[in-house]
Every structure is written in C-alpha cells, then in structure tokens.
Amino acid sequence: MTFDKYAAYYDLLYRDKDYSGEAAFVASHLRRHAPGATRLLEIGCGTGGHAEHFARMGYEVHGVDRSATMLDGAETRRKALPDPVASRLSYSRGDARDVRRGEVYDAVISLFHVMSYQVADADLEAMFETAAAHLQPGGIFIFDFWYGPAVLTQRPEVRIKRLTSDAINVTRIAESVLRVNENIVDVNYALFIEVRSTGEIQEVRELHRMRYLFLPELARLRADKFRECSSLGWMTDAGLGSHTWAGMQTVARL
C-alpha cells in the first residue's frame, strides 16, 4: 500500500512544509465560499499537519486516512496540542473512495494531491461521491491536484532530498516516469535511512502513482454532483497555466 513504509518518515521528510500557511490559504477560500462553515471533513489527512492548523483557527475537523501509520502520527500530534485545540480534532481510518461517516459536514477538504492519487476514472468519481455523501446541497469541497498542462510542459525530473534528525539521516531520491497515454506519472521513491548511532543503513522503496488532471475531465467526472466555484493555482490565487503544477479547485454540492 502506498505510504505503508514511507509513512514512518513522513513528518521528517515534510517538516519544512508550510502547513500553517496552506491551511490559512484554504481557510480564506472557505470564508469566501462557505462563510458559516465550522465542521470539516478532511479526506486523506495524513499525520494531521493541516488539521491541526484548522483546529487552531476554530474549525472542528474529522480526518480520515487509509494508512494506520499515518493516523498513529496524527493522534500523537493531537495529544501534544493544548486541550481546546485537541478537542476539535478526531480521526478514523477510511479510503477516499468509499468511506462513509454517516454525518454531514459544512465542507470537505482534501489536500496534498490526494485527488491525484486516484488514478482511474472510477476512483476519481468515487472520491467525488464520497465528498458529496458528506455535504448538503451548497456544501463546499476543496481539493488540490496535479494540473496536466503544467506537468506536460515542465516534465517530471529527478529530485533528491536530504534530512537529518537526532536519530537518523535520510536521503530520498524521487525518479519519475511519465506515462503520457494514461495521464499518469509513476514516482519511484528510494529512501536510504542511516541510524546515526550505529551507521546501519535501511533502504525503503515505494511507487507513488499520480494522475495529472485537466479541467474538462474534472468537470465531466463531477458533473452530476458538483458545480465549479473556482479553479486557481495552489497558494497563488492566480489562474491556472502551463507553469501551475499544483492547482486547487473549489466546487459546491448540487
């Protein structure tokens, strides 16, 4: 399962990610399109980095993720927070395609390209159905995704990231294969983890298969469930273009 092994090093690998700024950016769009929203469902919450900051802003957040390791990290993070913030957070295990909480929320969010991890049309349609099942008409769904024109213009490249903690040194190599006839990028991750106290090195490999998306196909896949409110560059509020690898779309439940 994607993230099964990778999850153990997730927080270290993304410790420089601007969770606070990203949550504030999404919250600005929630205020614009759903000003009365207080209860959020986050699909693919990971270790709770975004959820924490939504809770700090006063939102009540329930996060779901299919990785038990990720959820363990989210719960550890939650327990370390002040009680008023922690009390606004809860988590459960579930798949973006079929989880059903039996509850309705003011808005659904899904960040860090969870949508692009749904590589088949059926998976994407199922994720839209999941969001719709948790919203009243007019409820808002906000998600980010890999934007096809930019992926094809810029093309994936090899990326190397090195990080260290008190216990380990981690080198991550990401080598990508572009499958243009399928609108998919296979991101092959190789992690080399050195235990600093012993010099022992462990190797972890995972394939992350990513679907890049185009606005017309998103419109087709959500057609009977949502209407588009906005399609913008991630963290820019500018329109999408050939250099906007990460896009964000806000849609409203029909």
For the chain, domain boundaries: 6-146+213-253, 150-211
Q: Does domain 150-211 have CATH number 2.20.130.10?
A: yes
Query: Domain 6-146+213-253 sits in which CATH superfamily?
Result: Vaccinia Virus protein VP39 (3.40.50.150)
Residues of the chain whose pLDDT is less than 70? 1-6
Give the pLDDT confidence score for residue 9 in this predicted structure.
82
Prediction pTM value: 0.94
Alpha-carbon gap, residue 10 to 69, rounded angstroms? 10
Give me the sheet containing 168-179, strands edge to edge.
159-164, 168-179, 184-195, 201-211
* Cβ–Cβ < 8 Å for 66, 95: yes
Strands (E), 89-234: 89-93, 105-110, 135-146, 159-164, 168-179, 184-195, 201-211, 226-233
Give the pLDDT confidence score for residue 54 in this predicted structure.
98
